[in-house]
Chain A
């Protein structure tokens, strides 16, 4: 702290001396435009600085600066915070000119740069609001299953059910009571079932399963995509194509698949073995709006694919394997739930990849031999192949 002003003083002296020599020596002739520009620029800079030395910091800067510099002379603050230098000492006078000639910035670019600078500056000013709900944060960094609390669920509105007249009596065990003609879902039940579902997702992910997150309502897209990204799963945010499971070869036949090794690296040499394979089926489906996806759940039932679903008071809980009794009409609630499940999947994937790094698989991997067999007949395809061996 004490050294800083001294250093600055020394440097200032050196710079002034340099300026004097540059400006006074007749040997520096204006031989070309660049040199003259440098000299002019340098002189300008120096003179501006010399002017600045003689007086106090300008008042306008006081308003702009982020430091608390009160215009009232306060001896305590003056000692603690000496006025800042405006010009960066390490700046090379040549550097500025070279930069200016290199980057020919237009007026718009400059204005934008100014705006960014101002935003950076002013965003730090003011009080910080803590514990506030930010809809972005639920999507960007959703809570972990261990963060599930009844307060969080209540704040997200997962407890709000439907009008009592619309209820499905099978949900009576999840219902806490009635308030203003609306069923209130028991948060205890929600938390417990959500934790169980998170465990299921984590274990499926840890065993290399294919997890499909489906939220086909308007506004659920980003949360669904984010959850799939976290859990290295798959997503659907538009209409479920009927028959994608029961008639997979027709509907998903053209969609690309790949063979990966235990650490999820693509193995190109097995590409030709994938030619006549049946389409891939998910090992777990997470459905955010089971009421609109009756067909999907039906197909999952036909194909023995387990499902997790958010069951509101008007939905049928037997349609899904693992119900989560919660409000499925609020984006805030569904974002939270799918985010938690995505985080659970992330933990499972981490476990699986850690095991793979040690050379272990937590599931039965497909072998090269199996890949070469015909998926339908179970023998080597083609008679030519048989001759070859």
Chain B
């Protein structure tokens, strides 16, 4: 019978293990190993009796099952191993684990739920809650800090938490879990036990949104101070450099931009009140809103930019009322009202 040139046969030949009888002995074991059931690899000791207690679906061992072997053992994986001399086998490949001869412990006995809260329908969530509650009870006596002093933690958002546990957790239940997390987080920071810390870290969303610290703005290397200001619907961005008092707003001069003297006055009030009109040049971009809003947005932006150049001016500017943000916005119109608050006039009939 012509032997097919498949990997295992070659490998055995190269190792001087191959003979038709040894192949017959080893083939069922190899096939079983290929299926990967530990219970059946339990007696791969190569005894001939092993083929008798196999299920009848297995081929009889008298016929060398070359074609079947090819279906279970992909030829693409085996030939390089067989053709290469042993010295060329990459060292990263680990040997197969030892055969488990203790069949009793490798045999399946029962199918059981993986979690004791299986029947609740959301076992992973409930397991998490129970674990956190046990931690909370265990470390209840540790000193705590106030809610404001505790380290700020970015817990999972509800959607992220649902992804994490893979269960449709309602908002209310997640909030109760968050309460436990927050209580654990309030433990005196240097006394937090390791298990609490690691457990809390499981509930943090990836990346730390609170890690980025606010960098105080300064004048850049070209001597520009950049600042923003808002008023009503307008937003102004000012780039302030030391100069001779030239102002450009959206590429136009101040006079072109603001017809009213009052607007021009108020736009430059920060410089005027500190007598810095001829000391700085300003390049201003302003958009949105109307004329007054734009002018007063520029006021705030210039004042902020000026503070970057001369922080000592803060009390003066504060007194001049140019670094106080006017947070008033147009109130929304309500249904049933004519405007935000105005009611329709009363009509008798």
Q: Which positions in A face B, CB cutoff 8 Å? A: 106, 108-109, 111-112, 116, 208, 210, 212, 214, 225, 228-229, 233-238, 241, 244, 251-252, 254-263, 265, 267, 269-270, 274, 277, 280, 282, 359, 361, 363, 365-369, 371, 380, 387-389
Contact = CB atoms under 8 A, between A and B. Distances in A.
Interface residues of B, number: 41
- 4 nearest A-B pairs in the assembled complex, by CB-CB distance: A389-B57, A256-B114, A365-B109, A262-B109
Nearest to B112: A260
B119 A258 contact: no
B111 A228 contact: no
A164 B143 CA distance: 51
Contacts of A112: 142-143, 188, 191
B86 interface: no
A228 B117 CA distance: 9
13 contacts: A234-B116, A235-B120, A241-B121, A254-B167, A256-B113, A260-B108, A260-B112, A261-B106, A262-B109, A280-B113, A366-B110, A367-B108, A389-B59
Interface string B174-195: 0000000000000010110000
Given A106-B190, A108-B188, A261 B130 contact: no
A89 to B, nearest CB: 31
A265 B121 contact: no
Contacts of A234: 113, 116-119
Given A109-B190, A252-B121, A208 B110 contact: yes
B108 A259 contact: yes
B115 A256 contact: yes
A137 B84 CA distance: 68
Nearest to A214: B119
Given A235-B117, A368-B39, A259 B142 contact: no
Nearest to A366: B108
Contact of B58 (A212, A257, A365, A389): A389
Contact of A261 (B108, B119, B126, B166): B108
A368 B123 contact: no
B309 to A, nearest CB: 42
B248 interface: no
Contacts of B105: 261-263, 265
Nearest to A268: B38
Given A109-B188, A252-B118, A280 B38 contact: no
Interface string B270-287: 000000000000000000
B121 A280 contact: no
A388 B72 contact: yes
A257 B191 contact: no
Interface in B9-60: 36-40, 55, 57-59
A267 B38 contact: yes
B114 A244 contact: no
Nearest to A359: B104
B119 A236 contact: yes
A234 B126 CA distance: 12
Interface in B71-127: 71-72, 104-121, 123, 126
B143 A111 contact: yes
A277 B111 CA distance: 10
A257 B109 contact: no
Given A252-B121, A260-B108, A366-B108, 12 more contacts: A109-B188, A112-B143, A112-B188, A234-B116, A244-B121, A259-B108, A260-B110, A261-B104, A261-B109, A265-B105, A361-B109, A371-B108
Contacts of B57: 380, 389
A212 B111 contact: no
Contacts of A212: 119
A106 B72 CA distance: 65
B191 A258 contact: no
Contacts of A235: 116-117, 119-120
Nearest to A104: B190
A60 to B, nearest CB: 26
A267 B167 CA distance: 25
A111 B133 CA distance: 25
B221 interface: no
Given A106-B190, A359-B104, A368-B40, A260 B109 contact: yes
- Give the most central of B37, B68, B111, B114: most A CB within 10 Å: B111
A361 B109 CA distance: 8
Given A108-B191, A254-B166, A388-B72, A365 B118 contact: no
B113 A208 contact: no
A132 to B, nearest CB: 22
Nearest to B103: A359
Contacts of B39: 368
Contacts of A361: 109
A210 B112 contact: yes
B36 A269 contact: yes
A156 B167 CA distance: 39
Contacts of B117: 234-236
A368 to B, nearest CB: 5
A265 B108 CA distance: 9
Given A236-B119, A254-B166, A258-B114, A208 B108 contact: no
Contacts of B37: 269, 368
- Give the most central of B40, B109, B114, B116: most A CB within 10 Å: B109
Contacts of A229: 116
Nearest to B39: A368
Contacts of A263: 105
A365 B68 CA distance: 31
B113 A267 contact: no
